[in-house]
Structure 1
Amino acid sequence: MKRFWLVLLSLGLIVAFSTSAMAVDLKFSGEFYAAGLYQDKTTLCKDCGPSTAFYFQRLRLNTVFVVAPGLMLTTRADIMERSWGAARTDPWGNGVVNPGLQGYTFNVSSAGTVAENENIAFDLAYVTYVSPIGIISAGYQIDGAWGTVFGDNSIPTGKVSFIHMRGPWAFIAQTGKNSAFNASGIFGIGGEQGYPRGQIFNNGLADADNSFYTLAARYSWNTGQAGFLYKYIRIATIRDVRYGALSAAALGEDTIQIHVGIPYFKAQFGPVAVQSEIMYAYGAHNYESAWRRTWDGVQGVDGRRQISVLNGWIDATADFDRFYIGGTFAYLSGQNPAHERQEAGIIDGGYDWNPTLILWNADRNQWAGDLRGCVAYNANSTTGTANNAMANAYFYQVRGGVRPIDKIDIMASVSYAHAVVKPTQAWLYNSYGWEVDLTGTYKITNNLSYMLGLGYLFTGDYFKGENIYNDVQNDFLVINKLTLTF
């Protein structure tokens, strides 16, 4: 009996020592921030809204499992992303018990919902293999970020990617399923079903997914890089929506095909860094229930709207060590209400690009909510907004900064924006207004920094909407933020 156990133990030791290690190496990195924000007005309509003040935080943890040389598993999780002392988000959505939409409200920069991120939500999980012919990765990865920060929406997306490096060139091919249409749309969920937790509408159609295919090339040199990306997106998720099941029923049973081309360049000329990017999208929004639509006052005449969107920016910064100056110009096309056959708003300035503290600041919008103007007198009660990603705008900014010592960076900027087109035929004005921002960052240690920011918005008349008697009010905010990186 002892010999039996001895043999069994020996075999166990042989198996244990001959088994490949589950992970040769384990690497952690991440970021934690805690911040406080005070916003003087929560609406730009005069005498219409209170102030708001609160603290919020987030821990983002990146983990890389190095299984073998050239073979890795990468994950990312957002942990306790919440406002201090605030009520937890209702996973059913707005307090309404709806099993079809359970936990559905998206956190824009996450693969999880708002409710999940308040506890823990995994955003990324993908494998990477460095093969002799290129880098192959598959799983939930960051998509929607290319070239410069302009137009970037770093959204976790399920995809397969292949990158082939040849000298200074990089050639990229990708395909996958979009998590959301235009980063926030309810009808963009990828997969054969329209909702990640089960279809709630008619599922008589199998072809109801949101797919994309990407080809890109990038050339790098010592002082810069340039590239071009082409992306084809086919959105068929709303083909599976029963007509009349929605409040905006005419949105149902459609397919959208979009072609996007994005050239960019970054270059360093002595102390001056210049970057530019152009985004052009074209395609068609096909209405399969066109006979139920009304076009130019006539019902059922045609079932297609042409998509044509042009966005672009140029940014320059001259850095002279102790001080720097810079400027930005951006153009983002808008939806002209007089052109019913043309559709815009498919691409925008991106959630990653936040040139101001108040207008079009995705972080401010996530934590403090929408910032709206006066209600217009139309059927949709339209209000002027400048939330989330920038769209429909001419944007101008000048900025300058000083570094009195290595650990302190103080920057001031002045920005002005006005709308390219007015949202409705009766809209009165184009000016979004002027914004003045001042930020200071103190680097306490190599891994710990503190930021204090003040923003003041001289509100433009755009936010008056359609009524000349509406009045608007200026707004300001103060934010302080402690950030730990590791």
Structure 2
Amino acid sequence: MKRFSIIALAVAAVMLFAIPAMAADLSFSGHYRARGYYNDNTDLDDDTGATNSWMDMRFRLKTKIKVNDRLSVITRFDALDNKTWGNTDNPQDNAGDDNIDWDRAYIKAKFDYFDLQLGRMGAGTWGTKFLNSAREADRIRFIKKIKPYTIRFTYEKKVEDDKGQVDSDNDEDRYMADIAYKAKGINTGLFVGYYRDMDDSDIGANAYARKYWFIGPYIKGTYGPVKYEAELGCKNGDYKDMYAAGAQDQDYDAWAYHVNLATDLGPTTVSLGYAHTDGDDDNDKGEYNAYGLGGNDWQPLLILTGFYSDRTLGGLRNLNSHKNNTDIQKSGYDLYYGTVSFSPMENVTLNGIIGTAKADETSTLGNNVDDEYGVEYDVGCKIKLMDNLVYQIKAGFLSAGDLWKSTTGKNEVDDTYSFFHELKVTF
């Protein structure tokens, strides 16, 4: 026991003296936010509709542990991630451990001819925000920088279904390469990925493999007084390569694209944008064309594209790809919008947006269905209260289009409105 105590004290002393050195190589960043939502009449029926309002919060902490000049470990966790206010933990439910979600842990190593990243890291972002859906993924990535170019090769284990299972191949793997060019006034790149999804390769007579290519070029920059950005996404290959003899295969051919032009007029910025995602013609059984809408992170309109306004809109959900259903995915959209922002003071920005959207395809919803999602009007204000502390508020009104008649079963649909505000501190 005495020997054990001496060893324990020695270890404690070493750790104590090591703390100052460790602290010098440890850095933190993150944020805390509190948000509030109010959605009115999301089923687009004033007679039966009800309001939906709540508040939530999140604390995020990112750490960088610098082992030496060429090696570091990156971690990130969220606490109370989107935790609803008033939804406290009941000790009897043993749910307290759900309040902390360790999202990322990976190494960054700099070798003589390339950089290596390995572990669970950020994924789902590339180019502009249009197709971005930020997430975490288990990856191995090699990076080579030859200014002004950056070249990356990435392997991702999207789904692992083999471990401990009888089935030998039910995984989803992704093999990706991209190159980006950055110089004064321009940022452009090309992403190419081969996606192999075998998750449904063992479901009996309906078993199939999904293998396709994703191609994603983008460009953004400035030309004189004009700021521009554009991005394209293309999915091409086998959507369903059926195993059963005589079963109907489905090819994959889906496109999405977005362009935005903006210019500054003194303290005012104006922009015009257009976005498109392919829908699917339900009458063509041999080809699947639905892209799956834009990215979760692209939310120009509070109601039509808002991440948290999509749960029950018109019984169909909205145009944000977050947990949308098959019908809205197969409808796609054409979205036209214009924005204006104005800074009357250095720490205050006022903004507004008008957008109109219609479906690319409506055959999934039925025959003779109108393609109009509607017209939305949003206004907002962002205030920098102090360094690292920002408050923002938005209000949106949707003049609902006739497409929603097919989803609500009503001869008439009513309009809806929504509010959002957030207080956020960053460090």
TM-score by structure 1 length?
A: 0.77
Q: Is 2:420 aligned against 1:479? A: yes
Report how far residue 273 of structure 1 moved: 1.1
Q: Which of 170, 188, 191 in structure 1 is aligned with 2:160?
A: 191
Q: Would the alpha carbon gap of residues 143 and 467 (structure 1) be closer, same or farther in structure 2, given more than 3 Å must change?
A: closer
CA contact (8 A) 2:309 2:318 kept: no
Please say if residues 220 and 226 of structure 1, whose CA atoms lie closer than 8 Å, have aligned partners that are also in contact.
yes
1:269 corresponding residue in structure 2: 223
* Match in the other structure for 2:300: 355
1:461 matched to 2:406? The reply is: no
Is the counterpart of residue 44 in structure 1 residue 41 in structure 2? no
In structure 2, which of residues 307, 314, 319 is the aligned counterpart of residue 386 of structure 1? 319
Distance 2:294 2:372 in 1: 18
From 370, 373, 377, give the equivalent of 1:429. Answer: 370
SS at match of 1:411: strand
For 2:101 and 2:15, locate their aligned partners in 1 and report how far apart those are by CA, in whole Å.
Answer: 36
Query: Per-residue displacement from partner, 1:310-364 (whole Å, max 9, x unpaired)?
Result: 1101011112341110011011101111111111335431001111101121143
2:208 aligned partner: 254
- Which secondary structure state, in structure 2, belongs to the residue aligned with residue 439 of structure 1? strand
Label 1:444 to 1:11 Cα distance change in 2 as closer, same or farther (>3 A). Answer: closer
Of 451, 464, 477, the match for 2:392:
451
1:234 aligned onto 2:196: yes
The residue type equivalent to 2:254 in the other structure is V
CA contact (8 A) 1:372 1:386 kept: no
Using the alignment, how far apart are the partners of 1:10 and 1:86 within structure 2? 45
Residue 100 of structure 2 is matched in structure 1 by 120
Equivalent residue number for residue 110 of structure 2: 130
Kindly provide the amino acid, as one letter, of the partner of residue 57 in structure 1.
M
**CA offsets 1:430-465 (integer angstroms, 9 cap, x no match):** 000000000100100120011111000000111111
CA contact (8 A) 1:281 1:347 kept: no
Partner of residue 344, structure 1: 289
* Paired residue type of 1:311: A
2:257 matched to which residue of 1? Answer: 312
CA shift for structure 1 position 118: 5.5
Give the RMSD, CA atoms, in angstroms: 3.2
Instruction: Give yes or no for the alignment of 1:34 onto 2:34.
Output: yes
SS at match of 1:463: helix
Whether the 8 Å CA contact 2:293–2:321 is kept in 1: the answer is no
Amino acid at match of 2:102: F
Amino acid across the alignment from 1:160: I
Return closer, same or farther for 1:442/1:15 CA change in 2, 3 Å cut-off. closer
Aligned-residue offset at 1:384: 6.7
CA, structure 1 residues 36+385, in 2 after alignment: closer, same or farther (shift >3 Å)? closer
Q: Partner of 1:237: helix, strand, or coil?
A: coil
Deviation of 1:272 (Å): 2.0
Query: How much has 1:254 moved relative to structure 2?
Result: 2.0
In structure 2, the CA distance between the partners of 1:314 and 1:20, relative to structure 1 (3 Å rule), is same
- Tell me, in whole angstroms, the C-alpha distance in 1 between the residues paired with 2:101 and 2:409: 46
**Residue matched to 1:371:** 313
| Aligned positions, number | 411
Q: In structure 2, how many angstroms separate the alpha carbons of the residues matched to 1:57 and 1:327? A: 33
Distance 1:20 1:387, change over 3 A: closer
Task: Find the aligned partners of 2:391 and 2:173 in 1 and give their Cα distance.
Answer: 41
Overall identity of the aligned pairs, in %: 24
Distance 1:254 1:117, change over 3 A: farther
Q: Which residue number in structure 2 is paired with residue 177 of structure 1?
A: 157
Q: Cα offset for 1:24? A: 5.2
User: Residue 219 of structure 2 aligns to which amino acid in structure 1?
Assistant: F
* Distance of 1:12 and 1:455 partners within structure 2: 58
Distance in 2 of aligned mates of 1:356 and 1:116: 35
Tell me the CA shift for residue 11 of structure 1: 12
More displaced, 410-419 or 279-288?
A: 279-288
Q: Which has the higher strand share?
A: 2
| Aligned mates of 1:116, 1:15 — CA distance in 2 | 30
**Mapped pair 1:69 → 2:69:** yes
Matching residue of 1:247:
none
Structure 1: any 5+ residue segments left out of the alignment?
Answer: 93-102, 104-114, 179-189, 244-249, 292-300, 374-382
For residues 160-206 of structure 1, the C-alpha deviation after alignment (integer angstroms, 9 at most, x for no partner) is 1111001211111000112xxxxxxxxxxx1134xxxx88xxx4421
Q: Distance in 2 between matches of 1:84 and 1:220?
A: 43
In the alignment, the residues of structure 1 paired with residue 226 and residue 377 of structure 2 have an alpha-carbon distance, to the nearest angstrom, of 24
Q: How many angstroms apart in 1 are the aligned matches of 2:381 and 2:11?
A: 64
Q: Quick one: distance in 1 between partners of 2:369 and 2:10?
A: 86
Query: Does the CA-based 8 Å contact 2:292-2:321 persist in structure 1?
Result: no
Following TM superposition, the consecutive aligned residue runs of length 4 or more in structure 1 with deviations greater than 4 angstroms are 9-24, 115-118, 466-469
Question: Hey, what's the Cα distance between the residues in 2 that align with 1:401 and 1:12?
Answer: 57
Counterparts in 2 of 1:467 and 1:45: CA distance versus 1, 3 Å:
closer
Is the alpha carbon distance of 1:440 and 1:117 closer, same or farther for their aligned partners in structure 2, counting shifts above 3 Å?
A: farther
Q: Deviations over 1:61-102 (max 9, x none)?
A: 11111111121111111111211113769xx9xxxxxxxxxx
- 3-state DSSP class of the match of 2:309? helix
Alpha-carbon distance change, 14 to 414 in structure 1, aligned in 2, over 3 angstroms: closer
Q: CA deviation at 1:116?
A: 8.4
Displacement after TM superposition at 1:32 (Å)? 1.2
**1:125/1:427 CA distance change after superposition, 3 Å:** farther
Residue 345 of structure 2: aligned partner: 405
**Matching residue's letter, 1:124:** R
**Alpha-carbon distance, 1:288 to partner:** 3.9
Letter in 2 for 1:451: Q
